[in-house]
């Protein structure tokens, strides 16, 4: 693993049954940079992010991570009957193994994260009553609330209006400026142009 890399994958292969969807993929994400994962639908981008996050285990190859990690996904499946508010969802992001924040510290962190994504006024609103774009902002707040060392996003801007998407890009730049390694799956041209580096996948291979 390169000394400047917070996240590294080497010769990663992953498949369902006998068919690989990732073929010997090698990537590095350095602290303080934004990397965009681009490519057509079905190219393996989301699978790669899940492997980088530890959600999936590669069939072959190795992934190394340095520090804490947060994953923000597109439209996570949440039952509408789940009695949680926007603030409750963000507070879940403060639950880190081996690290317990005091109640007051956690409350301030949640308030700040919600403010950064423009959701302070809806902090007490039930998650089920929020629009898709508002939910995405809440889950972004959950990802940044504990200031992770690595921030992974899988199409997290989906459903956001132009202003909210632009604000998300500002937040990602702010996170990178404080030394976070940011890796985001995106189809958005503006997000690709704003990245420090672009990794393109095609049929499970880095091109």
Residue closest to 152 by CA, chosen among 34, 44, 57: 34
Pick the CATH number of 1-67+179-207 from 3.40.366.10, 3.40.50.1820, 3.40.50.300, 3.50.50.60: 3.40.50.300
Q: Which helix (H) or strand (E) holds 86?
A: helix 86-92
Query: What is the average pLDDT across 41-49?
Result: 93
Q: Hey, where are the domains in the chain? A: 1-67+179-207, 69-148
pTM assigned to the model: 0.91
> Which pLDDT tens digit goes with each residue over 113-146?
999 999 999 999 999 899 889 999 999 999 999 9
98-113 exposure pattern, b = at least 16 Cβ within 10 A, e = fewer: eeebeeeebeebbeeb
24 φ, ψ (degrees, to nearest 5): 45, 55
SS3 sequence, 115-135?
HHCCCHHHCCCEHHHCCHHHH
Specify the pLDDT at position 138.
95
């Amino acid at each position: 693993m390169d000394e400047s890399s917070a996240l590294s994958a080497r010769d990663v292969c992953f498949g369902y049954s006998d068919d690989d969807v990732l073929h010997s993929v090698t990537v590095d994400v350095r602290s303080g940079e934004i990397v965009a994962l681009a490519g057509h639908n079905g190219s393996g981008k989301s699978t790669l992010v899940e492997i980088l996050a530890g959600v999936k285990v590669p069939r072959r190859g190795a992934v190394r991570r340095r520090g804490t990690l947060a994953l923000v996904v597109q439209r996570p499946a949440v039952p509408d009957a789940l009695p949680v508010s926007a603030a409750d969802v963000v507070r879940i992001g403060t639950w880190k193994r081996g690290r317990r924040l005091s109640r007051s510290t956690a409350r301030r962190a949640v308030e700040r994260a919600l403010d950064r994504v423009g959701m302070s006024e809806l902090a007490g609103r039930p998650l089920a009553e929020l629009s898709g774009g508002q939910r995405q902002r809440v889950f972004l707040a959950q990802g940044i609330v504990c200031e992770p060392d690595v921030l992974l996003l899988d199409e997290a801007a989906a459903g956001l209006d132009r202003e909210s998407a632009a604000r998300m890009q500002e937040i990602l730049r702010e996170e990178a400026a404080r030394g976070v390694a940011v890796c985001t799956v995106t189809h958005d041209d503006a997000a690709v142009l704003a990245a420090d580096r672009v990794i393109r996948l095609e049929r499970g291979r880095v091109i």
